[in-house]
Structure 1
Amino acid sequence: MTTLPATMIAIDPAETGGPEVLKPVERPVPKPGAGELLVKVAAAGVNRPDVMQRLGLYPPPKGAPTIPGLEIAGEIVATGEGVDPARVGERVCALVAGGGYAHYAVAPAGQCLPVPATLTMIEAAALPETVFTVWSNLFQRGGAAEGDTVLVHGGTSGIGTTAILLGTAFGLTVLVTAGSDEKCARALEIGAAHAINYKIQDFVESVKQVAPGGVQVVLDMVGGDYVPRNLACLAEEGRHVSIAAQRGAKAEIPLWPIMAKRLTLTGSTLRARSVEFKSALADELRREAWPHLEAGRIRPVIDSVFPLEAAADAHRRMESSEHVGKIVLEMHD
C-alpha cells in the first residue's frame, strides 16, 4: 500500500477578498470518514459558487472544508469505514461540498462516478457540479422530456454548455441567451438550436419567433427582472426553474400569467443537499447520462486550464465572463 504524505498543497484563503487571496498553502491531508473515499486529485473544476465563497457571500455548509472546490477527478488512494478497500486505484470524478482546490480531497463514496474512458481527467473534473445541477433542475424539477423546447440563460457558461449537451442528447430543443455574437456562434456550434444575443435582442420577442407557443422550461440563473420576462416565454403548463440570482434575489412576479397558463415556479441549490440525495442523483446519472459520455456523444466544453497555484488567474478568467464552458485547475506533483 502506498504511504500517503502527511501534508499537501491547497488553496485555503484565510480571508475573503479578490482573487489575490487564493494562494497555495500547506494543509494536512484529510482522512476519509465512514462512507468516504480519499482521492488524489488530478484536476478540479472552477465554478461560480467558488467565486461567491471567496467573496464571503456563500460560506461552506456545516462540516464542509474551508478549501473551495465543488468537483474533482482523480484516483482513489484510501477508503473509510464501510467502503470496499478494493476501490483503491479507481479513477473517479466526484461532487464534493468543498475541498477540491487541493492535491487530496475526501468525497462521499455515493457521490463518485467512474471517469469515462473517452475523457481526460481534466474533462472529467468539469462534469460533476454542472451535470448534477442540470440533471436535477432541468430534467427532475423542470420535467424536461424528449420533444420539449427549453430556454437556458448563460448559454456559454459551464451550466449553459452542459444544458446544451445534455439537452440535445435527450431530444430537447435548446434555446440559449449569451452576451455577444461570438458567444452565440459558439453556443450554436455546441448544439443549441437558437442563440440570442441578449445585449442587442429582446429575448422574449426572439423566443416568441422561434417557439410561438412558448417553451416548456426556463432554466434561470439570472433572477431579478428576468423572472417576469421568463414567465412570458413559457407555454401553458410551463416550468420556471431558478438556480441562481445574478441580477438579484428579488423579483416582481405577475400572477395572472401564472394562473392563466398554469405555470410552476421552482428552483433549488445543490451544495447543502444531503449525501443521500446527491448519491441518488449520482445513481440516476450513471444510468441515464453516463452511457452518452462513455459512447463519446457528450464531451464537456473546456475553456481553459490553470495550474492549482494559479487559482487566482482562474478566478479572474471566470469573473471576466469571457469564458465559454468550464475552467479547470490541474494538479502537478
Structure 2
Amino acid sequence: MATAAAELAPALPEEMTAIDPEGPGGPEVLVPVRRPVPVPGAGEVLIRVHAAGVNRPDILQRLGLYPMPPGTTSIPGLEAAGVVVALGEGVETLSLGDPVTALLVGGGYAEYAVAPEGQCLPVPPGMRFVEAAGLPETYFTVWSNLFGLAGAKPGDRVLVHGGTSGIGVTAVDLCTLFGIEVFVTCGTGEKCAAARHVGASHAIDYNARDFAAEVRELTGGAGVDIVLDMVGGDYVPRNLVCLAEGGRHVSIAFQRGQRTEIDIGLIMRRRLTLTGSMLRPQTVAFKAGIAAALKEKVWPAFADGRLVPRLDKVFPLADAAAAHRYMEQGRHVGKIVLGVID
C-alpha cells in the first residue's frame, strides 16, 4: 500500500499554468492563467499532464450551460494523459512514474490534474500521450451506454449520430471490434466517406436524405437494435422509427434540445426501451467499474493493433481557444487534443 503523497512526491511547483475562465463566454475567454497545483486526496493521484482531450461538454461548460458538480475545479477538461507524480493516501495500484490516461471530473486543461485511482488506465504500449489523452471520455461513454445500458452484442445493428465525432468514431471502432453492424449519420458526403473509411458499415448524409427512411430501407424494413443519440430534440421521434421491435434508444446528449414529443403507442406496440445517462455526475465507484471493464475487454485490442487512437488535431494548451473554435466548426474526424508538454 502506498503511503501519503507528502512522503513520496518529488519536489513539485506551487503553481501551474492552466486554462480557467473567469466567466462564461466565447472561445476568447480561454486564456492561460496561473493556478495552485492541486493536491491529491485519499485514493487519488496527481498527474503531470502531457496532453488533455477536448470534448463537446467543455464547450458547454465554457458557455455556462454545463455546471460543474459541487466541489469540482472550474478548470475544464474531462480527460488527460501523463505521468503520476504524487500519490494520495491509500493508493494501491499505481506508482510514481506510471504513464496513465485518466477520466476526470474536470481540471484537464492544466499542467497538473488530480484523478481518482480507479479512473486511471495505463497508456497502451507504444501510444503517445497526445493519442492516449483522447481515449477516456469517449471510451467510458460509449462502453457504459452502448454495451452497458443498451446491452450491445455481436450481430446487433446500431445507429450512431455524429459519425465522425469523437463519440462517433469510438462507437464505430468498438462495434467493429465486437462484430456489430454500425450505421452512422454525418452532415456531408465527405464526412460520410471518412466515416466509412474508419469502418462504418453505412454512412448517411442527413442533409441529403431522410436518415430514418434510409435506415429502414438499408435494413429491409427491420430497423436497428440500438440508437445511440447525442442530438435529442426532434431527432428522438425519428430515431424511434429506426428501431426494430424490442429496440433500445440511449440518449447521451441533447444538442437540439432536451424536450420533444414522442408516440407512446409506438413504444408500447414495438416494446421499445428509452434510456440514457450522463457520465460526469456518476460516482467514482461507478466510473472505476467502467475502467476495469475497459482494461479487461478493450485495452488489449490497442496492444495488438485491433484498435488505434483516432487523433484529428493537436493544439498547444495556450491555444485552447483555437481548439474550441475548431470543434465548433465541426470539421474534425476523431479527437481534438491539447498538448501540454512537447
* 1:43 equivalent among 2, 27, 51: 51
CA contact (8 A) 1:77 1:88 kept: yes
Query: What does residue 251 of structure 1 align with?
Result: 260
Deviation at 1:118, TM superposition (A): 3.3
Is 1:60 the counterpart of 2:78 in the alignment? no
2: distance between equivalents of 1:291 and 1:86? Answer: 19
Could you say what secondary structure the match of 1:273 adopts?
coil
CA contact (8 A) 1:152 1:218 kept: yes
Deviation string for 1:77-121 (max 9, x for gaps)? 000000149610000000000000000000000000000013211
CA contact (8 A) 1:35 1:109 kept: yes
CA contact (8 A) 2:94 2:117 kept: no
1: distance between equivalents of 2:308 and 2:150? Answer: 23
Is 1:267 the counterpart of 2:276 in the alignment? yes
Deviation at 1:171, TM superposition (A): 0.8
1: distance between equivalents of 2:28 and 2:67? Answer: 18
Query: What does residue 181 of structure 1 align with?
Result: 189
Instruction: Give matches, 1:1-333, under 5 Å.
Output: 2-84=10-92, 87-212=95-220, 213-332=222-341
CA contact (8 A) 1:32 1:78 kept: yes
1: distance between equivalents of 2:294 and 2:93? Answer: 24
Could you say what secondary structure the match of 1:87 adopts?
coil
1: distance between equivalents of 2:219 and 2:72? Answer: 43
2: distance between equivalents of 1:6 and 1:322? Answer: 38
Could you say what secondary structure the match of 2:70 adopts?
coil
1: distance between equivalents of 2:217 and 2:233? Answer: 24
Percent identity between matched residues is 61
Deviation at 1:257, TM superposition (A): 1.4
Deviation string for 1:159-194 (max 9, x for gaps)? 001000111001110100000000000000000000
Deviation string for 1:37-90 (max 9, x for gaps)? 000000000000000000000011112110000000000000000014961000
Deviation at 1:150, TM superposition (A): 0.3
Change (3 A) 1:143 1:284: same
2: distance between equivalents of 1:104 and 1:299? Answer: 26
TM, length-normalised to structure 2:
0.96
CA contact (8 A) 1:46 1:327 kept: yes
CA contact (8 A) 2:51 2:341 kept: no
* Further displaced range: 209-218 or 101-110: 209-218
Could you say what secondary structure the match of 2:296 adopts?
helix
Deviation at 1:227, TM superposition (A): 0.6
Change (3 A) 1:87 1:232: same
CA contact (8 A) 2:10 2:86 kept: no
Could you say what secondary structure the match of 2:146 adopts?
helix
Q: What residue ranges of structure 1 are gaps of 5+ in the alignment?
A: none
Change (3 A) 1:190 1:269: same
What's the RMSD between the two structures over aligned residues?
Answer: 1.0
CA contact (8 A) 2:161 2:186 kept: yes
2: distance between equivalents of 1:224 and 1:307? Answer: 35
Could you say what secondary structure the match of 2:194 adopts?
helix
TM, length-normalised to structure 1:
0.98
Q: What residue ranges of structure 2 are gaps of 5+ in the alignment?
A: 1-8
Read off the aligned partner of 2:44 and give its amino acid letter: E
* Further displaced range: 80-89 or 308-317: 80-89
Could you say what secondary structure the match of 2:48 adopts?
strand
Deviation at 1:13, TM superposition (A): 0.4
